[in-house]
Amino acid sequence: MAFEKMIKNAFDESRNNCRFGDTIEEIKEIQDYIKNAEKIYIPNKDGIKVEVLNKVLNEYGLPNAEILQINTNTADTNRIPALAKAYMALDQSECDLIIARGRLGIPGSGSLLIFIDNKGRILTAGMSPSHVIHQKSLEEAVYEEAVEALEKIGFEKVI
């Protein structure tokens, strides 16, 4: 089943009240989309998150991402800052996949690392509590969020 067709079929099932949850075929389509992404961007001011995310992507046999150096500070004025960062990157680039990380919601709500496709649809995500709760380094938190996001859709480490 092709990615776009899968999305349309799920939409039709929901509209017709006959959707009974995700299928393994749908998860495989998301995996294939990520595996086949040629241009992957991470909106960021510096390369710290990019290094960590590329380490995780390599561990799962996935293509590397590149930094998209944009100032995402205004994303924090949105209700879901991480998603706002992803959309800012999508609006400023031609890509297949965006991986963005930022605050989940209001200050103190924790962090969200999100994978979106080239149309802004959420593919998967990982979360962590506020730094003052988990006390982990940025690198460790990003690593764990990325692993959660990938394993949530059935990816397994190859390295």
pLDDT value at 47 more than 90: no
d(CA 31, CA 34): 5
Residues 90-106: pLDDT tens digits?
A: 999 999 999 999 999 99
> What is the arithmetic mean of pLDDT over 55-66?
98
Say whether both 25 and 101 belong to one domain.
no
Mean pLDDT of the chain: 96
- The residue segments making up the domain with residue 139 are 37-152
93 is a domain residue: yes
pLDDT at 77 over 90: yes
Residues 48 and 18 in one domain: no
Q: How many domains does the chain have?
A: 2
Mean pLDDT of all residues in 98-119: 98
Q: Are residues 76 and 27 located together in one domain of the fold?
A: no
Per the domain annotation, does 158 fall within a domain?
no
Is 18 part of any domain?
yes
Task: Kindly state whether residue 157 falls inside one of the protein's structural domains.
Answer: no
Nearest 5°: the CA angle 72, 100, 55 is 125
* Percent of the chain whose predicted confidence (pLDDT) is above 90: 96
Is residue 122 situated within a structural domain? yes
Query: Do 91 and 48 belong together in one domain?
Result: yes
pLDDT score of 45: 86
**Are residue 65 and residue 86 in the same domain, yes or no?**
yes
The answer to whether residue 1 sits within a structural domain is: yes
Check whether residue 29 and residue 54 sit in a common domain.
Answer: no
**Cα separation of 71 and 90, whole Å?**
13
pLDDT confidence of 1, banded at 50, 70, 90?
Answer: low
User: What is the DSSP-derived secondary structure letter of residue 159?
Assistant: -
Residue with tokens 């706002």: 84
pLDDT at residue number 46: 80
Is residue 43 domain-shared with residue 111, that is, in the same domain?
A: yes
What are the b/e assignments for 74-87, b being 16+ CB within 10 Å?
Answer: ebeebebbbbbbbb
Query: What is the rounded CA–CA span in Å between residue 30 and residue 148?
Result: 15
Residue 81 belongs to a domain with what CATH number? 3.40.50.10150
Do residues 43 and 24 both lie within one domain? no
